[in-house]
Homo-oligomer: A and B are copies of this chain.
Amino acid sequence: MTSKLLKRTHMCGTLHSQNINEEIVVNGWVQKRRDLGGLIFVDLRDRTGLLQIVFDKDISLDAFNKAETIGSEYVICVKGKVYKRQSMNPNLPTGEIEIFAEELHILNTADTPPIYIKDDDVVSENLRLKYRYLDLRKPSMQNNLIFRSKIANIVRNFLTEDGFIEVETPMLINTTPEGARDYLVPSRVNPGKFYALPQSPQLFKQLLMVSGMERYFQIVKCFRDEDLRADRQPEFTQIDCEMSFVDMEDIIEVNQRLLQKVFKDALNIDIQLPIQRMSYKEAMERYGSDKPDIRFGFELVDVSKPVKTSGFKVFSSTVENGGFVKAINIEGYGDKFSRKDITSLEEVAKTYGAKGLAWMKIVEEEVVSPIAKFFTEEELSHLLKKVNGKSGDLILFVADKFDIVHDALGHLRLEVAKRLNLLNPDEFKLLWVTEFPLLEHDPEENRYVAKHHPFTSPMDEDIELLDTAPEKVRAKAYDIVLNGHEIGGGSIRIYSSQLQEKMFKVLGFTEKEAWEKFGYLLEAFKYGTPPHGGIAYGLDRLVMILTKEANIRQVIAFPKTQNATCLLTNAPSFVDEKQLKELSIQIQTQKES
């Protein structure tokens, strides 16, 4: 299979009518071969697209004879001349031309591939992952990877021009207290000890600020050993930034320009600055989510007051007992939801903890609802005014504790929008969410844990609440949300060792524990640490949204399954006893122990 490799002159997809009469050399894969009227037609594919090649005995008998032997996915090199095509194919960029082959060199043969190399092939994802190298031949997958590469390049050049230095932080680090579960790496040279793979370069990028690097970035692999969801992978890629001598406004300013650049250069979409902002509190109250999708309305409205006095006990007693009743108005879409549809929406609400879903339709000025009878006319009018109810609307109610009401209605508005086909993937709505709570109470450990991470600074005006009401302390933290997905987040960091020590105390660490776990950071903070903060984006998720894919595996070359395995290489795998012995470990599965 050593055949002549001619110097390629063109990529297949780049040829067009201006090239007519040129002598060209192309390489690629056989997409399809058809024998028709004494001629052989081959659709040749490379990274740039398809090109029709014609083999004609009268032009080259040798090429024609070889062409008779080739099949799908053969790798060939063709030398020939560009002609205007008899029957043009308007669906193909190269559809105006075809190549009459003068030479054919078969560079490699191919067995019949187990999956079709076309975008609309319906085949199990497991088979696609097993033969990933064939799956990646599909134009959509190639374009996703090319697009991803482009995004990374835009980001890198923007940040470099803005004075950011790309610094590589280590992959073999210490296990992190206060994070997700680490992947561990046994050390051979230090028996019994382990490295961890980084969940993020957080501590190192802060140390780089202590080092006076001032502006750092990195596009870097991070690792979390957590159970996987559709948009999670054991290893994922972050665009990671950190800046010194800045407050939140400075970081938002740089990142808005970055996002504007990405949308413009990658998608030719103009993002108007400033990007809209919303406090965490407002996001929760209006959208029932800290990452609201603001492409559509259906906002949450608090109707606790107007329903408090009603005869509908479910509502009035909830409010009396300190709970809430909130509603969303599916304005103008009342006739799209039958009773059966509403019952299925109730099932959705129940998966988020709601005990039920009350509803009202307004049909020709008339309220149609199983619960209408419990309201006086005045109460009803008051209620409808509050939710802006008009003919044609459907109003959905949930009554419960704060968290359940917001969680259930937040997801319901998404579900309704999805059913109404309002989630337009071509529309991109960005939103900054700010003023997150600094802490969350962990009922399991019965202590406060950091909502972002323990290095996030409290807001200056809330610092004194750390002693009295930690749950009320807001953080200098911000997320950037795109179409209901958190694509990035960050914070201004604590940069005083005293405040950092205090934070650890609030998290329930003794001074000794804090120094054992984070001593080198507390020590570093003593030697002149500048004010600093940063942000990290999830590159996989960002690319997934921008390519309008539903699954993160569509934008990763060699992803892992939900079970964290690679179906192509069968990683992870068993290893030799000798390797384990060198690492001073042995396997102890649950059964054996």
Interface residues of A (CB under 8 A from B): 1-2, 5, 8, 27-30, 45-47, 73-75, 77, 107-111, 113, 131-134, 136-137, 142, 145-146, 148-149, 152-153, 156-157, 160, 165-175, 181-197, 203-204, 207-208, 210-214, 221, 223, 225, 227, 234-235, 237, 244-247, 460, 495-496, 498-499, 520, 524, 526-531, 556-558, 560, 563-566, 568-575, 579, 581-590
A234 to B171, CA, bound (A): 10
A27 to B495, CA, bound (A): 15
Chain B minimum-CB-distance residue to A28: B212
User: A225 contacts which chain B residues (CB < 8 A)?
Assistant: 188
A569 to B244, CA, bound (A): 22
A166 to B557, CA, bound (A): 11
User: A75 contacts which chain B residues (CB < 8 A)?
Assistant: 528-530
Question: Is there an interface contact between B528 and A29, defined as CB atoms closer than 8 Å?
Answer: yes
User: A581 contacts which chain B residues (CB < 8 A)?
Assistant: 588
Question: Is there an interface contact between A582 and B181, defined as CB atoms closer than 8 Å?
Answer: yes
Question: Is there an interface contact between A524 and B133, defined as CB atoms closer than 8 Å?
Answer: yes
Instruction: Give 5 CB contacts A-B under 8 Å.
Output: A46-B212, A110-B528, A137-B212, A170-B571, A191-B590
**Closest A-B pairs by Cβ, 5 of them:** A110-B528, A136-B211, A73-B528, A193-B572, A174-B571
The answer to whether residues A579 and B189 also contact, given A29-B528, A77-B245, A169-B558 and a CB cut-off of 8 A, is no
Question: Is there an interface contact between A530 and B107, defined as CB atoms closer than 8 Å?
Answer: yes
User: A584 contacts which chain B residues (CB < 8 A)?
Assistant: 587-590
Chain B minimum-CB-distance residue to A562: B189
Question: Is there an interface contact between B190 and A564, defined as CB atoms closer than 8 Å?
Answer: yes
Contact partner of A184 among B149, B212, B579, CB < 8 A? B579
The answer to whether residues A142 and B29 also contact, given A189-B563, A190-B564, A530-B75 and a CB cut-off of 8 A, is no
Question: Is there an interface contact between B574 and A194, defined as CB atoms closer than 8 Å?
Answer: yes
The answer to whether residues A145 and B530 also contact, given A208-B136, A575-B175 and a CB cut-off of 8 A, is no
A196 to B305, CA, bound (A): 60
User: A133 contacts which chain B residues (CB < 8 A)?
Assistant: 207-208, 210-211, 524, 527
Q: Which of A172, A187, A227, A499 has the most CB of B within 10 A?
A: A172
User: A208 contacts which chain B residues (CB < 8 A)?
Assistant: 133, 136, 557
Contact partner of A558 among B2, B204, B563, CB < 8 A? B204
Q: Which of A171, A556, A590 has the most CB of B within 10 A?
A: A171
User: A184 contacts which chain B residues (CB < 8 A)?
Assistant: 185-186, 575, 579, 583
A194 to B108, CA, bound (A): 35
**Further pairs besides A153-B166, A183-B195: 5, Cβ < 8 Å:** A5-B245, A107-B530, A145-B213, A171-B171, A189-B565
Question: Is there an interface contact between A204 and B589, defined as CB atoms closer than 8 Å?
Answer: no
* Chain B nearest CB, measured from A135 CB (Å): 8
Question: Is there an interface contact between A586 and B585, defined as CB atoms closer than 8 Å?
Answer: yes
User: A169 contacts which chain B residues (CB < 8 A)?
Assistant: 557-558
Contact partner of A142 among B47, B171, B213, B244, CB < 8 A? B213
The answer to whether residues A170 and B564 also contact, given A214-B46, A584-B589 and a CB cut-off of 8 A, is no
User: A575 contacts which chain B residues (CB < 8 A)?
Assistant: 175, 184, 194, 196
Contact partner of A185 among B183, B189, B191, B587, CB < 8 A? B183
Question: Is there an interface contact between A192 and B587, defined as CB atoms closer than 8 Å?
Answer: yes
* Chain B nearest CB, measured from A368 CB (Å): 51
Question: Is there an interface contact between B167 and A573, defined as CB atoms closer than 8 Å?
Answer: no
Question: Is there an interface contact between A173 and B5, defined as CB atoms closer than 8 Å?
Answer: no
* Chain B nearest CB, measured from A294 CB (Å): 31
The answer to whether residues A191 and B557 also contact, given A113-B527, A172-B183 and a CB cut-off of 8 A, is no
User: A145 contacts which chain B residues (CB < 8 A)?
Assistant: 165, 167, 213
Question: Is there an interface contact between B528 and A108, defined as CB atoms closer than 8 Å?
Answer: yes
Chain B minimum-CB-distance residue to A26: B245
* Chain B nearest CB, measured from A235 CB (Å): 5
Contact partner of A157 among B77, B157, B172, B214, CB < 8 A? B157
A46 to B165, CA, bound (A): 14
The answer to whether residues A191 and B137 also contact, given A73-B528, A165-B145 and a CB cut-off of 8 A, is no
User: A194 contacts which chain B residues (CB < 8 A)?
Assistant: 572-575
A189 to B160, CA, bound (A): 40
* Chain B nearest CB, measured from A25 CB (Å): 10
Q: Which of A171, A221, A557 has the most CB of B within 10 A?
A: A557
User: A172 contacts which chain B residues (CB < 8 A)?
Assistant: 183, 223, 234-235, 560, 564, 566, 571-572
A107 to B183, CA, bound (A): 37
Contact partner of A528 among B74, B174, B210, B529, CB < 8 A? B74
User: A152 contacts which chain B residues (CB < 8 A)?
Assistant: 166
A142 to B558, CA, bound (A): 36
The answer to whether residues A5 and B247 also contact, given A165-B145, A528-B29, A557-B167 and a CB cut-off of 8 A, is yes
A569 to B189, CA, bound (A): 17
Chain B minimum-CB-distance residue to A139: B212
User: A498 contacts which chain B residues (CB < 8 A)?
Assistant: 1
* Chain B nearest CB, measured from A196 CB (Å): 8
A211 to B225, CA, bound (A): 29
Question: Is there an interface contact between B574 and A214, defined as CB atoms closer than 8 Å?
Answer: no
The answer to whether residues A195 and B149 also contact, given A1-B498, A73-B528, A585-B588 and a CB cut-off of 8 A, is no
A203 to B27, CA, bound (A): 23
